Amino acid sequence: MIIITQLVSALAPLLAKDNRLKVGLAVAALVVHRFWGRAPGTRRRKDLKGPWEWPILGGLITMATVPPSDMLNFLTRMDDTYGPVWTVSIPGVGRLITIDSPELVEYCLKTNFWNYEKGEDMRVRCEVLFGHGIFTADGDNWRFQRKLASHIFTVRAFREYTNDVFVLEAMKVVNLLGQAADEGLEIDFQELMHKFTLDAFGVVSFGKSFGCLDSLDHEPEFAVAIDKMMALLTERMFDPLWKVTERFTERGQQFQRLQKLVQQYSIDVIRERRECGIQEGSYKPFNVLGDRKDLLQMIMETTDGEGNPLSDDMIKDMVLNYTLAARDTTAQALTWLFFNLLKADADSEVLNRLVDEIDSVFQGNTPTYETHKRQKWGEACLFETLRLYPVVPRNMKRCISDDILPDGTRVYEGEFVSWSTWAMGRQESIWGPDARQFRPERWLNSEKPSQGKFSSFHVGPRVCLGQQFAIIESMVLLALVFQRFTFEMVDPNRGDDYELSFTLPMAKGLLVRVKRRQDVSTH
């Protein structure tokens, strides 16, 4: 208010001569006063810490000046400055209250789960890709899809997928790595992992792979379209006026083209199944799953709460959601794991111990569901990677009704609680003085951390059902490739640069060189 007083004093001579200027300034002053320290549609929160908020603009200027490549580090610095709880309001989005505390995260996502939802705005923004799938679903729709998924991701399924899907697709990766080694090629390991996880879940979802691993340079149109849509959707998430801007920009037109391509692929597969008489049980899988049902078949045989078959659109949305989740998360986790093993300042003992464990456990043999349980160091390396490089590095939920968090923080209806697993993984108050160091040994012979402390697989009722799927798939891949190859980064001094997205892709991929091991034999 001091600034306004000084401004009025400076303009006093002009105000005495121009009544219109007086009225204009009076209106402007009223607007500024009304929205002082907050964005329109939000409540001023003098009780919470946070960066400076401008009248009307709130924290928009602060957030807009942060480069996308530094956003997660910015959130970490905010935690260092203000503590685990701080706030900012953004026009067109609302008020975000950061809750980077294990206790608060567990309270909002588990203890008081039903009071925090994805929200209508999230559903509308993401509908172009995720439709009405489980990613953005709330309430009864989420409950229905969750129950169905729980019947799909079972121990029996994991055991069968290990032998029939993970090993088969991972051996295709081995063949491509062998080609790269023999021809002296540099390969983008992140791209290769995206191909591996998409093909693997393609078999689980549709009964057939997408053909991503047919060759090193093969890029199926479906996979390319998904990558482009994810990038465009990230832009939309940071655009408060996206409904307007997309009418007059190329982004809106691109969305339409890509959405049509992705949806048409799914619809074509569904129609193919219907033509095969799957509803009458005459369809038989035509792939490595043998007589077992794939995800699509299970969903198509499901009915809604009233006993009616699911619509093609609903089936499409459900299968696409699971496929996208299975592809990006595991692929990026494996990429960041390799980065931490191969970078210039990596502890060589971590990699040596990983290879020694694989040689000891498998002795050149093929992994099975039972043997993956003996990869204790491999699993510790994966968990430590997910602690520092969580594949969903930030998230938020909308408060349905006024609430008081365990630390006394008030959250009002319509406000958002947000948390960053990236920032929390780097907090010494949570993980100790070595929080920012890659130390897999912290996961051995220690008490399992709470979901709030290690939330990389989410927390509470929405915890990732595919957690074991991802772990087993990763362990199989690690075993098969480290049995046969050694790796080095093309640029071991590169930083941990990331692309701002829903997940955590490494910026510009991870270029590696591959060599065949000469000291072992495989069976």
pLDDT per residue rounded down to tens, the chain (523 residues): 555 555 556 556 655 666 665 566 666 665 564 667 788 889 999 999 999 999 989 899 999 899 988 999 999 999 999 999 999 999 988 999 999 999 999 999 999 999 999 999 999 999 998 999 998 999 999 999 898 888 777 777 777 777 778 999 999 999 999 999 999 999 999 999 999 999 998 888 888 888 999 999 888 888 889 889 988 998 888 787 889 999 989 999 999 999 999 888 888 888 888 877 644 454 444 455 556 678 888 888 888 878 888 888 999 998 889 888 888 999 999 999 999 999 999 999 999 999 999 999 999 899 988 888 899 999 999 999 999 999 999 999 999 999 999 999 999 999 999 999 999 999 999 999 999 999 999 999 878 899 999 999 999 999 998 899 899 999 999 999 999 999 999 999 999 999 988 899 999 999 999 999 987 666 5
Q: What is the pLDDT of residue 393?
A: 96
Q: Which residues are annotated as a binding site for heme?
A: 464
Could you tell me if 247 and 241 are in contact, meaning their C-beta atoms sit under 8 angstroms apart?
no
Sheet with 485-489: strands ordered across: 186-188, 511-516, 485-489
Report the candidate in 330, 309, 370, 298 with the shortest Cα–Cα distance to residue 457: 330
In this prediction, residue 218 carries a pLDDT of: 86
Which residues carry a binding-site annotation? 464
What residues contact residue 516 under an 8 Å CB cut-off, 6+ apart?
Answer: 178, 181, 182, 484, 485
8 Å CB contact between 67 and 30: no
Total length of the chain = 523
| pLDDT, position 14 | 57
Q: Of 93, 190, 147, nearest to 391 (Cα)?
A: 190
Is 456 within 8 Å of 485 (Cβ atoms)?
no
Q: Which residues contact 435 (CB under 8 A, 6 or more apart)?
A: 425, 426, 427, 428
Residue type at 387 in one-letter notation: R
pLDDT given for residue 6 in this prediction: 59
H-only helix segments in 398-483: 421-424, 428-431, 467-482
Q: What is the rounded CA–CA span in Å between residue 518 and residue 498?
A: 34
Q: Strands 416-419 and 395-399, how do they pair?
A: antiparallel
How many C-beta neighbours within 10 Å does residue 373 have? Answer: 13
Distance CA 327, CA 391 (A): 11
Tell me the fold of 2-516.
Cytochrome p450 (1.10.630)
Sign of CA dihedral 522, 479, 365, 191: negative
Of 516, 505, 521, 383, the C-alpha closest to 444 is: 383
pLDDT of residue 254: 93
pLDDT of residue 392: 94
Q: How far apart are CA 95 and CA 512, in angstroms?
A: 43
Region class of 499: left (phi > 0), else alpha (psi between -120 and 50), else beta: beta
Q: List % helix, strand, coil for the chain (3-state, nearest 5).
A: 55, 10, 35
CA angle 500-504-505, nearest 5°? 90
The pLDDT value recorded for residue 26 is 63
**What pLDDT is attached to residue 283?**
46
The pTM of this model reads 0.90
Cα–Cα distance list, 39 to 27, 47, 58 (Å): 17, 16, 4
